[in-house]
Amino acid sequence: MKVTKRFWMRSILGAAAAAALAGSAWAQGQPVKIGLLATLEGPFAAGGADGMRGAELAVKQRGGAVAGRKIEIIKGSSDAKPDVAVNATRKLVEQDKVDIMVGPLSGGEGIAVKDYSKTQPQVTFINGASGAQATTLQNPSPNFFRFNTEGAQWMVGLGQAALDKGYKRVMVIAEDYAFPYSQVQGFMAEYCAKGGKVPVKAWVPLGGKDYSSVIARIPKDVDALLVVLGGADAVNFLTQYENAGGDKPMLGGSITVSQDVLNYRGKRRDSLVGTLAAGPVADAYDGAEWKAFVEDYRKNYPVSAGGFPSPSLFAYVYYVNMKAALDGLAAVNGDLSDGHKKYRDALQKMVLKTPTGDVRLDSNRQAIGSTFVIEVVKDAQGNLNTKVARKVDNIDQMLGMKKEEFQMGTRDVPACP
Amino acid sequence: MSAARWRRAMNTGLAAAPRPLPVAVSARPAGPAAEPDPYADSLAPEWLKFLWRTLGARHVFVLAFVLLLPFVASPFFTFQVASQSLILGLIALSLTFLAGYGGMVSLAQMTVAGIAGYALAVLGTSSSAEISLAWPWWVAVPAAVLIATLCATLIGWLSVRTEGIYTIMITLAIGVAFYYLVLQNYSIFNGFQGLRELKPPTVFGVQWRDPLPFYFLALFWSLAGYGVVRWVVRAPFGIALQGIRDNPRRMEALGFHVLAHRVAAYALAGAVAAVGGILLAWYNALMTPGSVGTSWLINILVIAVLGGMKHPIGAFLGAIVFVLLQTFAIDLIDRERFNLVIGAVFLVIVLFSPDGLLGLWAKLRSRFGPNQAMTSPTRRQP
Distance (Å, rounded) from C-alpha B187 to C-alpha B195? 12
Most distant pair of Cα atoms in chain A: their distance: 81
Q: Looking at the domain assignment, is residue A13 inside a domain?
A: no
What's the rounded mean pLDDT across residues A292-304?
Answer: 91
Distance (Å, rounded) from C-alpha B315 to C-alpha B307? 5
| Model confidence at B53: pLDDT above 60 | yes
What's the rounded mean pLDDT across residues B346-374?
Answer: 76
Q: B193 in contact with A at a CB cutoff of 8 Å?
A: yes
- Is B192 in contact with A84 (Cβ distance < 8 A)? no
**Judgement on whether residues B254 and B114 belong to the same structural domain of the protein:** yes
**Judgement on whether residues B176 and B323 belong to the same structural domain of the protein:** no
What's the rounded mean pLDDT across residues B9-14?
Answer: 46
**Where residue B44 falls among pLDDT bands split at 50, 70, 90?**
low
Return all residues near B177 (Cβ < 8 A) that are at least 6 apart. Answer: none
Is the complex ipTM more than 0.90? no
- Is A95 in contact with B77 (Cβ distance < 8 A)? yes
Interface of B with A in 205-234 (CB under 8 A): 212
**Judgement on whether residues B241 and B141 belong to the same structural domain of the protein:** yes
Q: Which domain CATH number covers A240? A: 3.40.50.2300
**Judgement on whether residues A98 and A145 belong to the same structural domain of the protein:** yes
Preferred mutation among B72, B187, B196 to probe A, highest tally of A CBs within 10 A: B196
Alpha carbon of A195: minimum distance to chain B alpha carbons (Å): 30
Which among A204, A158, A207 has a CA at the least distance from the CA of A185? A158
**Judgement on whether residues A383 and A248 belong to the same structural domain of the protein:** yes
Share of chain A above pLDDT 70, in %: 92
Residues of A with CB under 8 A from a CB of B: 5-6, 9, 13, 40-41, 49, 75-77, 81-84, 86-87, 90-91, 94-95, 108, 111-112, 115, 138, 176-178, 205-206, 411
**Judgement on whether residues B195 and B258 belong to the same structural domain of the protein:** yes
Alpha carbon of A69: minimum distance to chain B alpha carbons (Å): 23
What's the rounded mean pLDDT across residues B118-141?
Answer: 88
Where does a domain end: A345, A365, A385? A365
Cβ-Cβ contacts under 8 Å, A82 against chain B:
194, 196, 284, 286, 288, 290
Specify the pLDDT at position B205: 79
**Judgement on whether residues B139 and B256 belong to the same structural domain of the protein:** yes
Neighbours of A65 (CB within 10 A): 15
Task: Name the residue among A83, A94, A95 with its Cβ closest to that of B286.
Answer: A83
Cβ-Cβ contacts under 8 Å, B84 against chain A:
87
Helix (H) or strand (E) holding A375, with range, is strand A367-378
**Ranges A216-225, A264-273, B205-214: which has the least confidence:** A264-273
Alpha carbon of B194: minimum distance to chain A alpha carbons (Å): 9
Q: Looking at the domain assignment, is residue B380 inside a domain?
A: no
Q: Looking at the domain assignment, is residue B179 inside a domain?
A: yes
Specify the pLDDT at position A239: 86
- Is A9 in contact with B74 (Cβ distance < 8 A)? no
**Judgement on whether residues A75 and A161 belong to the same structural domain of the protein:** no
> How many CA within 13 A on the CB side of residue A387?
8
- Is residue A374 within 8 A of residue A150, CB to CB? The reply is no
Specify the pLDDT at position A337: 85
- Is residue A139 within 8 A of residue A218, CB to CB? The reply is no
Q: Looking at the domain assignment, is residue B162 inside a domain?
A: yes
**Judgement on whether residues B285 and B230 belong to the same structural domain of the protein:** yes
Helix (H) or strand (E) holding B322, with range, is helix B313-332
- Residue in B with minimal Cα distance to A7: B212
Number of domains in chain B: 2
- Is A82 in contact with B327 (Cβ distance < 8 A)? no
Task: Name the residue among B196, B197, B335 with its Cβ closest to that of A77.
Answer: B335
Specify the pLDDT at position A297: 93
Cβ-Cβ contacts under 8 Å, A307 against chain B:
none
Cβ-Cβ contacts under 8 Å, A177 against chain B:
191-193
Share of chain A above pLDDT 90, in %: 45
Q: Which residues lie across from B206 on neighbouring strands?
A: B203
**Judgement on whether residues A246 and A387 belong to the same structural domain of the protein:** yes
Q: Let me know the angle formed at the C-alpha of A22 by A21 and A23, rounded to the nearest 5 degrees.
A: 90
Task: Name the residue among B71, B212, B291 with its Cβ closest to that of A83.
Answer: B291
| Model confidence at A394: pLDDT above 90 | no
Which among B232, B242, B241 has a CA at the least distance from the CA of B28? B232
Report which of residues A16 and A346 the model is more confident about: A346
Cβ-Cβ contacts under 8 Å, B78 against chain A:
none
Specify the pLDDT at position B301: 92
Interface of B with A in 45-104 (CB under 8 A): 71, 74-77, 79-80, 84
Q: Looking at the domain assignment, is residue B57 inside a domain?
A: no
Cβ-Cβ contacts under 8 Å, A91 against chain B:
76, 80, 327
Q: B130 in contact with A at a CB cutoff of 8 Å?
A: no
Highest mean pLDDT among A229-233, B155-159, B358-362: B155-159
Size of interface A-B (CB pairs under 8 A): 79
Cβ-Cβ contacts under 8 Å, A178 against chain B:
192-193
Task: Name the residue among B77, B186, B286 with its Cβ closest to that of A82.
Answer: B286
Specify the pLDDT at position A133: 87
Specify the pLDDT at position A12: 53
**Judgement on whether residues A299 and A353 belong to the same structural domain of the protein:** yes
Digit-coded pLDDT (tens) for B274-299: 999 999 999 988 898 888 988 899 99
Helix (H) or strand (E) holding B3, with range, is helix B3-11
Where does a domain end: B244, B272, B295? B295
Task: Name the residue among A9, A75, A206 with its Cβ closest to that of B192.
Answer: A206
Distance (Å, rounded) from C-alpha B118 to C-alpha A269? 45
**Judgement on whether residues B138 and B203 belong to the same structural domain of the protein:** yes
**Judgement on whether residues B237 and B342 belong to the same structural domain of the protein:** no
Q: Looking at the domain assignment, is residue A15 inside a domain?
A: no
**Judgement on whether residues B175 and B263 belong to the same structural domain of the protein:** yes
What's the rounded mean pLDDT across residues A150-173?
Answer: 92
Task: Name the residue among A13, A82, A90 with its Cβ closest to that of B288.
Answer: A82
Digit-coded pLDDT (tens) for A135-147: 888 889 999 999 9
Q: Looking at the domain assignment, is residue B369 inside a domain?
A: yes
**Where residue B38 falls among pLDDT bands split at 50, 70, 90?**
low
**Judgement on whether residues A203 and A173 belong to the same structural domain of the protein:** yes
**Judgement on whether residues B223 and B357 belong to the same structural domain of the protein:** no
| Model confidence at A45: pLDDT above 90 | no
**Ranges A105-109, A170-174, A413-417, B363-367: which has the least confidence:** B363-367
Cβ-Cβ contacts under 8 Å, B336 against chain A:
40, 49
**Where residue B82 falls among pLDDT bands split at 50, 70, 90?**
very high
Number of domains in chain A: 2
Specify the pLDDT at position A260: 66
| Model confidence at B19: pLDDT above 60 | no
**Judgement on whether residues A264 and A163 belong to the same structural domain of the protein:** yes
**Judgement on whether residues B125 and B272 belong to the same structural domain of the protein:** yes
Alpha carbon of B192: minimum distance to chain A alpha carbons (Å): 6
**Where residue A270 falls among pLDDT bands split at 50, 70, 90?**
confident
- Is A90 in contact with B288 (Cβ distance < 8 A)? no
Digit-coded pLDDT (tens) for B309-335: 888 999 999 999 999 988 887 777 665
Digit-coded pLDDT (tens) for A165-219: 899 999 999 988 888 888 999 999 999 999 999 999 999 887 778 899 999 999 9
Q: For all residues of chain A together, what is the average pLDDT?
A: 86
**Judgement on whether residues A275 and A385 belong to the same structural domain of the protein:** yes
**Judgement on whether residues B113 and B184 belong to the same structural domain of the protein:** yes
- Is B212 in contact with A112 (Cβ distance < 8 A)? no
Where does a domain end: B295, B330, B348? B295
| Model confidence at B23: pLDDT above 50 | no
Specify the pLDDT at position B17: 41
| Model confidence at A318: pLDDT above 60 | yes
Alpha carbon of A139: minimum distance to chain B alpha carbons (Å): 10
Cβ-Cβ contacts under 8 Å, B291 against chain A:
81, 83
Q: Could you list the beta-strand ranges (E) of A103-252.
A: 124-126, 144-145, 170-175, 201-204, 224-228, 250-252
**Ranges A53-57, A278-282, A318-322: which has the least confidence:** A278-282
Q: Looking at the domain assignment, is residue B336 inside a domain?
A: yes
Distance (Å, rounded) from C-alpha A360 to C-alpha A368? 5
Task: Name the residue among B74, B285, B290 with its Cβ closest to that of A81.
Answer: B290
Digit-coded pLDDT (tens) for B258-274: 999 999 999 999 999 99
**Judgement on whether residues A306 and A354 belong to the same structural domain of the protein:** yes
Q: Hey, CA dihedral for B243, B245, B251, B256, is it positive or negative? A: positive
Q: B343 in contact with A at a CB cutoff of 8 Å?
A: no
Distances from the Cα of A206 to the Cα of A41, A132, A303, A329, angstroms:
18, 16, 30, 39
Q: Looking at the domain assignment, is residue A2 inside a domain?
A: no
Digit-coded pLDDT (tens) for B190-207: 888 888 888 888 888 778
**Judgement on whether residues A44 and A165 belong to the same structural domain of the protein:** no
Report which of residues A271 and B133 the model is more confident about: B133
- Is B192 in contact with A176 (Cβ distance < 8 A)? yes
Q: For all residues of chain B together, what is the average pLDDT?
A: 83
Most distant pair of Cα atoms in chain B: their distance: 66
What's the rounded mean pLDDT across residues B21-36?
Answer: 44
Q: B286 in contact with A at a CB cutoff of 8 Å?
A: yes
Specify the pLDDT at position B212: 85
- Is residue B340 within 8 A of residue B292, CB to CB? The reply is no
Report which of residues A399 and B236 the model is more confident about: B236
**Judgement on whether residues A259 and A391 belong to the same structural domain of the protein:** yes
Domain that holds residue A233: 153-279+371-395
Distance (Å, rounded) from C-alpha A326 to C-alpha A343? 10
Q: Looking at the domain assignment, is residue A11 inside a domain?
A: no
**Where residue A17 falls among pLDDT bands split at 50, 70, 90?**
low
Q: Looking at the domain assignment, is residue B123 inside a domain?
A: yes
Specify the pLDDT at position B31: 42
Report which of residues A61 and A258 the model is more confident about: A61
Strands A357-361 and A352-354: antiparallel
Specify the pLDDT at position B15: 41
What's the rounded mean pLDDT across residues A337-363?
Answer: 91
Alpha carbon of A17: minimum distance to chain B alpha carbons (Å): 11
DSSP class of residue A279? E
B60 by Cβ neighbours in 10 Å (0-12 / 13-18 / 19+) ranks as: exposed
**Judgement on whether residues A351 and A389 belong to the same structural domain of the protein:** no
- Is A94 in contact with B286 (Cβ distance < 8 A)? no
Strands A384-395 and B286-287: unpaired
Report which of residues B149 and A21 the model is more confident about: B149
Specify the pLDDT at position B33: 44
Q: Looking at the domain assignment, is residue B240 inside a domain?
A: yes
Q: Looking at the domain assignment, is residue A185 inside a domain?
A: yes
Backbone angles phi, psi at B162, to 5 degrees: -110, 165
- Is B74 in contact with A95 (Cβ distance < 8 A)? yes
Q: Looking at the domain assignment, is residue A407 inside a domain?
A: no
| Model confidence at B25: pLDDT above 50 | no
Where does a domain end: A365, A381, A411? A365
- Is residue B374 within 8 A of residue B310, CB to CB? The reply is no
Domain that holds residue B345: 308-375
Where does a domain end: B295, B322, B354? B295
Cβ-Cβ contacts under 8 Å, B339 against chain A:
41
